[in-house]
Amino acid sequence: MTYDKDNIFAKILRGEMPAVKVYEDDQTLAFMDVMPQSPGHVLVIPKTEAEDLFDLELKAGTAVLRTSQRVAQVVQEVFQADGIMINQFNGPAAGQTVFHYHVHIVPRYEDVPLRRHSGDMEDIAVLEEQAAKIRQALGES
């Protein structure tokens, strides 16, 4: 496949679509997933065009890993999660639905099943409240 410059994450990076941001630097953006599997579900993307892991430059991958590690640690603390699930899908058969490389940070709790990652969008006010807690803990208010 060829990178689609009109995918939703590319539009978010260009400011053409809204996102509830939790962290941003010159190489990455972290924002709330609008269809969270668990409260505090965050996505981390590179600011470069990369469809999947195989299309990702090493420098961008390193930046995404660094941001993912920092954000995941804060998400686990803020949401008092028992663990953190880190997911990354490559290709439709693996479950990738947005073809811009991204990492899912999903808080997990003992004996609490994940919600489906479906078309049911979370209330933006809820996402804003969660993001504010993450930003504060990151020192990004």
| 10-45: b (≥16 Cβ within 10 Å) or e | bebbeeeeebbbbbeeeebbbbbbbebbbbbbbbbb
How far is the C-alpha of 120 from the C-alpha of 101, rounded, in Å?
Answer: 22
CA 31 to chain centre: 5
- Residue 102 appears among annotated catalytic residues: yes
Catalytic residue selected from 100, 102, 104, 117: 102
Catalytic residue set: 102
